[in-house]
Amino acid sequence: MANRPGGRRTTVTPKNLAEVRVEVVECDLLIIGGGNAGCFVAVEAAKQNPSLKVVIMEKAEIMRSGACSAGMDAINTYIPEDKTPEDLVRWSRDQVGGGPLREDLALSNARELNEAVDDLERWGLPILRDENGKIRYRGKWDISIHGEQLKPIMAEKAVESGAEVYNRVAGTGLLMDQGRCVGATGLHVRNGTFYVFRAKATVVSTGGAGTLYKSYTADSTNSGAQIWMCPYCVGSGYAMGFRQGAELSSLEQRWVATRTKDFCGPVDTISVGYKAPIINCKGEKVMSRYAHLGGDAAPRYIRANAPMEEWLVGRGPCYCDTRNMAPDKVTAMMTDYLNERPSFVLFLASRGQDVTKEPIEIYGSDPYILGGHTMGGFWVDIERMTTVPGLFAAGETAGGNPNKFVGGCAAEGKLAARGAIAYMKAAGPMPGPADPAFASQVEAEKSRVFAPLMRGAEYDGVTPREMKERLQRLMDEYAGGTSQFYRTNEERLDYALKHIAILQDQFKFLKAADLHELMEANETMDRVDVSEAVVHHLKARRETRWAGWQTRSDYPERDDKNFDCFVETRRDPKTGAVEAFTRPYEQIVSGERMKA
């Protein structure tokens, strides 16, 4: 069976490690995460070599998993006929204030981009066109789609490619052999099976990291599902690699977006797609203050930070002014929302809000780590291999290459598949499952993963939710969250690291009552480990390069002399010590860095 259903949740849980069922799966290529990039990895691998055994480990159900699960109303990057891949790299460079960014990765992605989007259309995605059959652009690079079925379309093709999909299996750790990755382990969150996937090459495509920071979208404390980013992408892929010494890049360049307040719906649909200006409480057009930086077309980090600056100086709240939109435009806008965020239309209706009479309030989101929007993720080579041999990254998990979005993450999936296949041809033999060192590694990981469940619900310990909410408040208040208008300083970051270490020491007190809570316990440990890396990145960049995304109150100016470079971290797998260092920026595409 190619697409193994997750099945119903069992009410019987193992009472000791000996009762845990272990299943070993042998494959050529393991894909951790069956979202956008993961699906494209599978399809491309089958195209390159149909004889490969490809396995997808998917935490949810692949038909509706990942950041694209609820649909989209646009593909944010598609190169027009009069533009080149180099033009797209220049625009992307401008969007991050001239860089740094990995221009080698960005250019290779751009050259693959349109073909990946064309794949989606061939598979059945409705891309809107004008009366002459030309693709309809809603901005300089983004095109309009009817994308409610975007994820099922991708998933169906991945399954059709012959990939074996293990649904409801959450990745927990990488399997290693003499410094190289030889697969991964996973927890079946419905029946408690512990999976050991042995693979010649592994691609991690688990999405970004949301829910590290406290969200101010909803009033409840457990409002994870009311954030903009997919709340079930918690950074597990980053954590798995970080624990095994894979180098992380640029996590300090966090993604913070302007979103509709109290709901966290997309704003570009209104401001970019329908040209509704951003205004403050005085009715002033906010982006006119940034005319020298492009105004309404200013880089994304400036547009995201501008409304929050208005709040900070006493001119909030801010709005997207929809009051002058024509009726047909309002209808079209609501149709777009029904494609990407249908519940937002219900939210407006529940308030009785007529957007032609009352503007839509906006506010800053909580920060996310996203290698497909900003550039936080693994440092990878041109083949998309991380610094751990045998471990590849695609989509949000691959760093250095911002503004990939849906099309770029799909393109990177194809590139990672080719890189992984090339690696497999040269890789040496894997250790056997009975190899003492390998078997010991599996047992140690099983013990770590199941420890909260073994303690039981009655244990006088810490629940996953309690630890998660402590982490989120810690990150919000000390590592530049929404309540602090994204600002931080050396002393706050030192405080955050001290208390993250306390949380890591308290992993031994985590408890779980059932398999679902066991998954949440492991996700929370992943969040804490990723947060440690994020804080080290914020601490190492002693300047302010992307205000809002990365703001240092104690270093408020940009410092090109010392920080026109990439900030990297690596954790020693044996000691747990984290090293922060830099890598140089290399400009490959010609042109002024500050101009698209």
Which stretches does DSSP call E strand in 180-306?
180-188, 194-204, 248-249, 258-260, 278-279
* Amino acid 506: pLDDT: 98
- Residue 100: cis peptide before it, omega within 30 degrees of 0: yes
Residue 102 makes CB contacts below 8 A (sequence gap 6+) with 375, 399, 400, 401, 566
Residue 92 makes CB contacts below 8 A (sequence gap 6+) with 101, 106, 402, 403
Of all residues in the chain, the percent with pLDDT exceeding 90 is: 83
Collapsing DSSP states into helix, strand and coil, what is residue 4?
strand
Confidence of residue 343 (pLDDT cuts 50, 70, 90): confident
Q: What is the pLDDT of residues 540-578, one digit of tens each?
A: 999 999 999 999 999 999 999 999 999 999 999 999 999
Strand 278-279 vs strand 391-393: parallel, antiparallel, or unpaired?
unpaired
Q: Is 544 exposed, middle or buried (0-12, 13-18, 19+ CB in 10 A)?
A: buried
Does the domain spanning 450-571 belong to CATH 1.20.58.100? yes
* Amino acid 227: pLDDT: 81
Task: Give phi and psi for 144, each to the nearest 5.
Answer: -85, 140
- Residue 594 predicted with pLDDT over 90: no
- Residue 596 predicted with pLDDT over 70: no
Q: What is the pLDDT of residues 383-412, one digit of tens each?
A: 999 999 999 999 999 999 999 999 999 999
Q: Give the 3-state secondary structure percentages of the chain, helix then strand then coil, rounded to 5.
A: 40, 20, 40
Mean pLDDT in residue range 352-363: 94
Mean pLDDT in residue range 158-177: 97
Q: Where do the structural domains in the chain lie, given as residue ranges?
A: 258-364, 450-571
* Amino acid 326: pLDDT: 92
Range in 46-55, 198-207, 419-428, 579-588 with the lowest mean pLDDT? 419-428
Confidence of residue 39 (pLDDT cuts 50, 70, 90): very high
DSSP-derived secondary structure letter, 506? G
Task: Give phi and psi for 135, each to the nearest 5.
Answer: -60, 135
DSSP-derived secondary structure letter, 515? H
Confidence of residue 274 (pLDDT cuts 50, 70, 90): confident
Q: Residue 533: how many CA atoms within 13 Å on its side-chain side?
A: 35
* Amino acid 431: pLDDT: 80
Q: What is the pLDDT of residues 278-325, one digit of tens each?
A: 999 999 999 999 999 888 888 889 999 999 999 999 999 999 999 999
Collapsing DSSP states into helix, strand and coil, what is residue 362?
strand
* Amino acid 110: pLDDT: 98
197: left (phi over 0), alpha (psi -120 to 50) or beta: beta
Q: What is the mean pLDDT of the chain?
A: 94
- Residue 520 predicted with pLDDT over 60: yes
Confidence of residue 268 (pLDDT cuts 50, 70, 90): confident
Q: Which of 174, 167, 155 is nearest to 236 (CA)?
A: 174
- Residue 120 predicted with pLDDT over 90: yes
Q: What is the pLDDT of residues 461-499, one digit of tens each?
A: 999 999 999 999 999 999 999 999 999 999 999 999 999
Alpha carbon distance 193, 172 (integer Å): 13
> CATH assignment of 258-364, given 3.90.700.10, 3.40.228.10, 3.40.1000.10, 3.40.50.10470?
3.90.700.10
Q: Any idea which residue has 């989101």 for tokens?
A: 365
CA 23, 24, 25, 31 torsion-angle sign:
positive
